[in-house]
Amino acid sequence: MKLRKLLLLISFVPTLLMAQINTDRVMSIARNALYFEDYVLSIQYFNQVINAKPYLYEPYFYRGMAKFYLDDYVGAEADCNQAIDRNPFVVGAYQIRGLARIRQQKFTEAIQDYTAALRLDPENVVLWHNLSLCHMNQKEYDQAKDDLDNLLRVSPRYATAYLMRGEVLLNEKDTVQALTDFDKAIELEKFEPGGWSARAIVKLKQGKYADAEADFDQAIRLSVRNANNYINRALARFHQNNLRGAMSDYDLALDIDSGNFMGHYNRGLLRAQVGDDNRAIEDFDFVLNIDPDDMMATYNRGLLRSQTGDYRGAIMDFSKVLSVYPEFLAGYYQRAEARKKIGDSRGAQADEFAIMRAQIDRLNQTPGKNQTIGNADNNGEEQEDVASTTRKRSDKNVENYHKLVIADDTETDRTYANDSRGRVQNRNVTIRPEEMFVFSFYERSSDLKHTMHFYRYIEDLNRNKTFYRDLLITNNEAALNANQVNAHFALIDQRSADIVARPDDPMTRFKRGLDFYLVQDFTNSMDDLTQCILIDDTFFPAYFMRAIVRFKQFEYQTAENQAQQSTTPLGGTLRMDRTETMDYTLVRRDLDKVIELAPDFVYGYYNRACLLTQMKEYRSAISDYDKAIEMKADFAEAYYNRGLTNIFLGNNRQGIADLSKAGELGIASAYNVIKRFTE
């Protein structure tokens, strides 16, 4: 009978009866899955609770949150509607619905949500932030400034508010006050690149190119993968006649963002300027693949084709431009020259006649309505105003074909705009250790780290096909998709039947414990792992996984407690403890047993070091990291965590050396940490 109830609990059969589900327990499992980013799985659990008790607001609210993180903004909004109908006093429901509406460009409705939420929680930093962002998107600048003033009263050291208010002031043409706000943002968050880049852009517009370059240097030092900073620094360097430096910046920007329009267009201009015509053509080819109707890129490519002897290609480009700008005299001049080169005298004469007629019209003061460049006597080239070497991307005046492109005012790079994801408090990413290792069947792919984590005993189990697929050792778990979720629920049913038939088989208990772990049912997972140990107290994988399950239970419980507390982001600090101090004795006891039973299992030492860090026993943690690195010389995660621990203890030199090694082994975030602590 007990087994039957368990099978009913974990099954997704549509005929599930309300009386057969413990909604509190399923709700707890669902929130577990949500916390650990298993969104598809969590939705299936929330569905069970909704089917059993449709009058509760919580499953709708949390299901809406899961849908939001799966980019189902319509579904998220609908679920939050249901939650608010059932309980209109839940701040989070308005917040998630507001985020979903922002993603749908429904800013007016989002403003209504944040206004309602702030009546319930008037000191919530996230709500003020997103309300300000909505007003900025609506160009309601007075309201946005009021919101940001309120935000700064609630959190005077919230640097992002100064950046946002600075942008508002720039839109109101108050450059002086905007710079004051950007200066304040930098003062509060010197390790945040947004302040440096915002101030640099203002200095660039003021013509203070050396100062702008210095600020972009700082922004790039703190955020090496931001292509826009390289694009803008290139412009500052160009204005200082540093063409080599500008070209290098465009190269770096395009290494990061190979599809960047301005990067290719401007690099094409600079390549043409230094005589690198063929590669300049490649850049304009790329631009025209993105936007075939860009006439300035077309004209530039025509000039380059003519210079490289591709006269027919040049004629095609000039003809395309002239079909849009029929009184663009430089185009006629260049096409006439190209036609002469291929022996098309009649075509060349027609172009020259068009130029002559336009010049006569000018002398008679009857310029054509679309005439843009009239100085064909200067080989079709306009005399350049050296004080005007750039154009906005939206500028369609073909006479500006030779000017570098800059972003439109509406294309401001708001590095804080993504904060509308609802995790504003995490925008200045807190530096945290790498995660513990677990046994799993699923792992997220990484572009940089390709280390295969290996232990012979586990490989022997895989070779013997002990599990339904190969068991991995990973600290980069992947969330399950719907098919995988259903597969593990089916496996749980199968294991349950096997346990009834063979109650003393430890491996079957271990397998079902893993399945329960993967579907985020930690309580049942813990029960199975404990039963496995009672049957065979020498089976170290059960101790290893039970330590993980216990640790994650503690982590989730702490997060639940902290969810009710309002926190103000400070950023730029090294916070080693992700959770509050808790009783980790049982977790440590299991890891001690793992090391006793398998002293060559390096991940036991690593995980115990991670735990000791959580327990604030930093020197003992370093000792375990030392042992892990001694056993596995390419253990990137151990180098990274040991580096953070050393920095936390004030041993910056040793810490940075470890972080450098971690970066070399593929943990890219190590370089950002190094920059923060080597100023």
Whether the CB-CB separation of 500 and 58 falls below 8 Å is answered with no
DSSP string, 101-141: HHHTT-HHHHHHHHHHHHHH-TT-HHHHHHHHHHHHHTT-H
Q: Is residue 624 part of a domain?
A: yes
Question: DSSP states of 330-352 as a string?
Answer: HHHHHHHHHHHHTT-HHHHHHHH
pLDDT given at position 389 = 79
The length of the chain, given as a count of residues = 679
In a domain, 609, yes or no: yes
Report residue 607 as tokens. Answer: 């995980």
Which residues lie across from 477 on neighbouring strands? 443
Give the per-residue pLDDT at 95.
95
458-475 b/e (C-beta count within 10 Å ≥ 16 → b) = beebeeeeebeeebbbbb
- The C-alpha atoms of residue 439 and residue 471 are separated, in whole angstroms, by 6
Q: Does 430 fall in a domain? A: no
Return d(Cα 667, Cα 676) in angstroms, integer.
Answer: 16
Helix, strand, or coil here: 404? strand
- Residue 221: half-sphere exposure toward Cβ, Cα within 13 Å: 16
Instruction: Give the span between the Cα atoms of 271 and 246, in whole angstroms.
Output: 11
Give the Cα separation of 93 and 525 in Å (integer): 31
pLDDT in the model for residue 19: 39
For residue 285, being part of any structural domain is answered with no
pLDDT for the residue numbered 396: 83
Query: Which residues neighbour 627 within 8 Å (Cβ) at sequence distance 6 or greater?
Result: 605
Radius of gyration of the chain (CA): 32
DSSP notation for 21-46: --HHHHHHHHHHHHHTT-HHHHHHHH
Specify whether the backbone of 275 is left (phi greater than 0), alpha (psi in -120 to 50) or beta. Answer: left
In this prediction, residue 449 carries a pLDDT of: 54
* The predicted structure's pLDDT at residue 115: 96
Give CA angle at 417 (170, 663), nearest 5°.
Answer: 115
Instruction: Assign 3-class secondary structure to 431-479.
Output: ECCCCCCEEECCECCCCCCCCCCCCHHHHHHHHCCCCCCCCEEECCECC
The three-state secondary structure class of 391 is strand
Identify the three-state secondary structure at position 406. Answer: strand
- The 3-state DSSP class for residue 630 equals helix
| Domain annotation covers residue 459 | yes
Q: Crossing angle, helix 329-341 and helix 295-307, to 10 degrees?
A: 30
Cβ pair 235, 406 in contact under 8 A: yes
Report the CATH number that the domain containing residue 595 is assigned in CATH: 1.25.40.10
Tally the domains of the chain. Answer: 1
**Domain annotation covers residue 628:** yes
Q: Which amino acid is at 98?
A: G
Q: What is the domain range of residue 456?
A: 437-479+538-676
pLDDT score of 5: 35
pLDDT, averaged per 10 consecutive residues of the chain (679 residues), comes to 34 37 88 89 92 94 92 91 96 95 94 96 95 95 96 95 95 94 94 93 92 95 90 94 93 92 93 93 94 94 95 95 92 95 94 88 60 43 50 84 78 49 39 91 72 88 93 92 90 94 95 95 95 96 96 84 47 42 83 97 97 93 96 94 92 89 82 72
Helix/strand/coil for 51: helix
User: To which H or E segment does residue 263 belong?
Assistant: helix 261-273
In a domain, residue 169? The reply is no
- Residue 238 domain flag: no
Contact 638, 654 (CB under 8 A): no
The Cβ of residue 9 has, within 10 Å, a number of other Cβ atoms equal to 17
Task: Assess contact for 515 and 492: CB atoms under 8 A.
Answer: yes
Tokens of 281: 């053509």
In terms of Cα–Cα distance, which of 433, 429, 427, 449 is closest to 647? 433
* Structure confidence at residue 666 (pLDDT): 81
